[in-house]
Amino acid sequence: MPVNTLTAAAHITPVVIRTFLSHSKRKGKKLHNHDQKELSTDDILFDEAFHIVRAFIALGTNNTVESLQAFTNTHVPAPYWCAVSPVRIPLFSANRAADDLIKWFGPEELRTVVGGERWWQVRGLDGIDAEWITEREYLSPPIKGKEKMSEADKDILRMEHLDSVMLYIHGGGYFWGSINTHRYQIIRYARKIKGRCFAVNYRKAPQYPWPCPLQDVLAAYFYLTRPPPEAHHAPILPSQIVFAGDSAGGGLALAVLTILRDLHRPQPAGAVLISPWVDLTHSFPSVMGNTESDIVPPHGFLAKPSVLWPVELVAEKGRVVRAEKGVPPVPGHADTLKPGNVRKRREGGMDQEKMAEEAEREGLVDDNGKADEYADGAGQADDAAVGIPDKEDIDFWQPKPPKVLMDNPRAVPLEMRSQIQMYAATEQLSHPLVSPVLQGSLGGLCPLYIMAGDGEVLRDEIVYIAHRAAHPADYPARAGVMRDGRRQRENAERWTEPTRVHLQVFDGMCHVLTVFTFTPAASYAYRSIAEFVRHVTQNDAEHLAVNPFPELHRPPLDVGLSADVEPDHDGRHEAAENAAAMDRRQRSDVDIYKLNERELSAAVGRDDEQVDMMPENGNGDAEHVAGTQEAGSGSQVGDIPDVLMLRERVDVHGIVRPMEAPEDCPVLKIRPEEVGLLKEGPLNKWWSGQKEWDRKFKRSAERAQKQRLKHEAVGKRIMENAREQGLLLVHEAPPERLQPPRLTSNMSSMSSFSRPGRIDNERRWGPLDLEGENVPLSAIANRRDTPEALALLKKSIYRTAPVTHQNVPKMKMSDIIRAAFDPNDDPNGDPKQSVSEQQVRSYFFPNMHGLRMWDSVISIFMRSSSKSAKKAREAVKAQARVASGALSTVTSPDASSR
């Protein structure tokens, strides 16, 4: 069954019941044992929501990629109380972004790493879907003289006075999710910042793999700052824009920031990175240790086989093989993406049997054709056969994907044969724009506000990149990246200025804690994000140079409880503890910062200020900050200049405390040489799940293989018909036949209801323009074996042809009849494009869609949480009055005696 509202409800309802029973049992056991340890799951609302989200993602992994994409990219109406204006970012902005990407990569890297400069610019839509979002109450009065404009366009003009702009990039593992899955969160951000949000629905993998999403996000930024003539908004200054993204969106935001920095383009005022996914090689320890406390599936994002994914439906000889026997790992293909023999054989059309025979001759598998035992770590090489090179041997200790770093250096090395991530080919995973943790330097960026859940699998890489950005010299990139990347060597030398970073790790929270908007910790996160956005967008550069974070100059009265109060949720705390918690909330963030300094100084035996200050010179010595003794005392708060990094933890009630010293963080002790490598442990974790999926969905894979053959036959017929109907590409036409592109009708005399096709005057590429390019195997731009690939091909031929087409041929009547019965086609308009790009429209009860129902559930949880908060506040006030009365009783005799 596909992913839809009914199947989601059927799958999730038993989970809700089980969670309620297990929560009650666990809570009773804690009370009986007088267990006072606070956990995020002590809150029944969070416990239920956590397991609901986890169950939904598990449902997605048991269905096809297309099914999950279609469900999460279904258009859902916005609430009546918010203003949402859909727009389409035109090719004008997309081409400007493409030009910058081409400049960043350079000719050699485009050829050897990306695979060309055209395929990733191919798109089905005539632009990129996006939305302006804000609170309707924030709109200015109606504008006169704009009667011909639509209400949505008028709303864009009525948002112009809102200075703070958040460019939001949604998450979803780089392959699912959309504006619709995140609209509730985005609306809340707009309300908190008292501004407007611009959300971009970028193309997603595996249909549009890296760097397609990068181009779309960069285009969205250029659309804001340098709008095309037809845009209704005025140009927005970069100093008024803040990037924000969660998970994959956070990774995209960080990658785009490095592109802007490297090309000396104006950067936004700041960026909010919420659980950013920045290491697609999964080389950090928390990937192995936080599985039970996170919503991410234990084996990663697997999927039921379909015509789209996985690329290799049936891996008869194993998806993981041994490298050449007796030879240690040698330089692979990742940093230069020069295809290895396995990939060349695959691209050359060699079938699985011949590939296996050749692999046996090369020693990649044993005589029985087995490699799985080595994927489980059982394969060991003879000690005498494999010598262990010195630590300085980069090729041995830093193998490039698809080769794997073994736990035992004497073990026979493993090599990936299947693609492990949908976003990028295995050979590309160590590229710095795929895994930004491998950037030569993360210095020189705009201020970053980074959040992580202590219980999420990505925790370690998030903490690590925060410190890499704030301390470029202390956390360098590994030698292999520097050796093989010219730009990364230049970046390490050029961008030595530290990035201002505010890092917060939330106790007990999972991946993307802001999903659980009703929890006290998430409420604090939304307030803090809003304060950061307003601070960096509403202050001038001179002020921000001294005060990069709002926490460093606000008076104590500006901090603490606001509209979203996060009191203690249950009645387990005594009145004194409640009063103490209230006191901590009312403490200024400057006090917290100073406390952080004092505790860290004591921990490392220093008398001066915390080391996370802007160095006075290039030698990295910390600068003592004068005047900071009075910065955290009283209501007159002075500046705290040259602050480099704030490091904090946040408990389940949203109360901030200092983070432990860097020397006490295990993840910060990881050597740079260990970062960004495919390692045996995470590989086996994925591989054990993939083997289970291969067995579970064996018949589905076989059916998908047959369907691919049928689609390929259809694609061949489409091309033959188009040629018969006069399709001619510019490079195919003889000189005497070359003429300016002409518009011809795509309709026969019996199909007058169809609108005419056209040749797009904007620069764009189509599936027929990729000769000589090394296109990723999953990209539909160069495939003919999926319905989405065929829809893209037909649209490029018959509807909006690129300028490389000499003409637009006329469709046969038989083709129009077929389109009427094809669920992926439309005889009256453009064929439906990939669900990874185009939103699905639900015309029957759109308000009953699962995404809208989830928003309703969150709203109910928010109201319940608010009621609990109100009761807790009243209890605290009552206890405070009692304590005040008792104090008056004790002190009154002394007063009378005086």
Query: How far is Cα 68 from Cα 418, in angstroms, rounded to an integer?
Result: 22
| Token pair belonging to 253 | 């935001």
Cβ distance 174 to 423 under 8 Å?
yes
CA pair distance 222, 673, nearest whole angstrom: 36
Q: What is the rounded distance in angstroms from the CA atom of residue 141 to the CA atom of residue 837?
A: 35
Q: Are strands 758-759 and 196-200 parallel, antiparallel or unpaired?
A: unpaired
* Assigned token pair, 800: 């909006």
528 is catalytic: no
Beta-carbon-side half-sphere exposure of residue 238 (alpha carbons within 13 Å): 17
Structure tokens at 711: 């689609």
Q: Cβ atoms within 10 A of the Cβ of 116, count?
A: 17
CA-to-CA dists, residue 144 to 141, 264, 267, 745, angstroms: 9, 41, 35, 40
Phi, psi of 328 (to 5 degrees): -70, 165
Tell me the three state secondary structure of residue 135. Answer: strand
Least Cα distance to 477 among 245, 279, 682 occurs for 279
What angle is formed at CA 720 by the lines to CA 718 and CA 721, rounded to 5 degrees? 65
Short-list 753, 747, 756, 755, CA closest to 813: 747
Question: Which amino acid is residue 216, in one-letter code?
Answer: D
CB contact burial 570-582 (16+ within 10 A = b; e otherwise):
eeebeeeebbebb
Answer yes or no: are the C-beta atoms of 727 and 757 closer than 8 Å: no
- Annotated catalytic residue within 93, 247, 430, 778: 247
Rounded Cα distance, 582 and 566, in Å = 10
Tokens of 582: 């209230």
User: Residue-wise over 319-353: b if at least 16 C-beta within 10 A, else e?
Assistant: bbbbbeeeebbebbbbbbbebeebbebbeeeeeee
Q: How far apart are CA 694 and CA 315, in angstroms?
A: 9
The residues pairing with 197 across neighbouring beta strands, listed in sequence order, are 133, 166
Tally of residues, the chain: 898
Report strand pairing: 270-274 vs 320-322: unpaired
One-character DSSP codes across 292-349: TTSSS-TT-S-----SSS-SSS--TT-SEEE-STT------STTT----HHHHHHHTT
What would the DSSP string read from start to end of 743-800? ---S--TT-TTSPPPEE-SS----GGG-TT----TT-GGG--SSHHHHHHHHIIIIIE
Q: How far apart are CA 219 and CA 120, in angstroms?
A: 13
Identity at 783, one-letter amino acid code:
R
Alpha helices, H only, 538-639? 541-546, 575-586, 589-604
Is residue 464 within 8 Å of residue 517, measured between CB atoms? no
State residue 131 phi and psi, 5-degree precision.
Answer: -145, 140
CA-wise closest residue to 537 among 202, 851, 236: 236
Q: What b/e string do you get for 405-423 counting C-beta neighbours within 10 Å, with b at 16 or more?
A: bbeebebbbbbbbbbbbbb
Catalytic residues: 247
